[in-house]
Amino acid sequence: MRLLKTFILILTLGAIIAPSVSYGQQKNIDSTEVKKNRILVQMGLFHYFFDNAPILNVNHREFNGEPRTGLFNQLLISSYGLQYDRKINRKNSLSFEVIMFWNLYWGNKETFPVSGPYHPPTNTKARVSRRAFTTVTINYSRILKLSKLFNFVYGGGVNYRRGSEAIIVSKNSFEDLLEGTFKNDFGLNTFVGINYTPLKWLTLYTKLDFMGLVYLHDKEGIETLKNYDNVPDYFPSRFDLSLRFGIGFNF
């Protein structure tokens, strides 16, 4: 995972530099005339799950006085993935996407108050400790030309998410008491975004994506969470709002 994060970061920097090098070619490019196939490498800069979990790990990037290992000392609570996009015509396309999200919420873990060994604190709400899942999505996109280099894109799709989510319900001096659910869920999403094509073979894009899970598989795990007085109704979260950036290679 660390190698993948570093690789995507390097690609992003390279893609930003490349357009300026080939600025003279821009006048011959029409963003609607690029080739029909596109492979995209993308990063979800943040994910907000509507459950009070932080979107960035700002104040907990050290452990025992030492920086945590990882990209930006684990500042980002982000996702990484690949997408294949196939243009149907100038205004329509279909895509297949795989996104991986694996993150620990250090702030939630380190600031949760210590209580009895088995009794959750009555005045402290449960918090998410960890999320790890893979999401597969099939999207339909509508493409609106803004200029020769820019397109506005919007659309929606269907999702399948598999993984797990762990919730801290109590904590003693030795360990966290965790409960959780397994993800084998189905959902729907909608999105809007901007594509920028400075070179015929290269497209940069940003996208705001909102997903809602309409079917949650782990009924037993959900029922267990409901047995705790300090677990809010928004666990497990059905919603995921993400801001994504990506690099596309057209062929």
H-helix or E-strand spanning residue 108: helix 106-111
Distance, CA of 222 to CA of 180 (rounded, Å)? 8
pLDDT of residue 122: 63
- Phi and psi at residue 151, to the nearest 5°: -125, 145
pTM across the whole model: 0.83
Q: Which domains are seen in the chain, by residue range?
A: 2-200+210-250 (2.40.160.20)
Per-residue pLDDT tens digits for 136-170 = 999 999 999 999 999 999 999 999 999 999 999 98
The helix/strand count (H/E) of the chain reads as: 3, 10
Taking CA atoms, 218 is separated from 79, 214, 215, in Å, by 23, 13, 10
Tally of CB atoms within 10 A around 69: 9
Q: With 0-12 CB in 10 A as exposed, 13-18 as middle and 19+ as buried, what is 17?
A: exposed
Distance, CA of 223 to CA of 210 (rounded, Å)? 26
Per-residue pLDDT tens digits for 7-38 = 555 455 444 444 444 444 444 555 556 689 99
Is residue 224 predicted with pLDDT exceeding 90? yes
Is residue 72 predicted with pLDDT exceeding 80? no
Per-residue pLDDT tens digits for 98-126 = 999 999 898 888 888 887 655 666 678 89
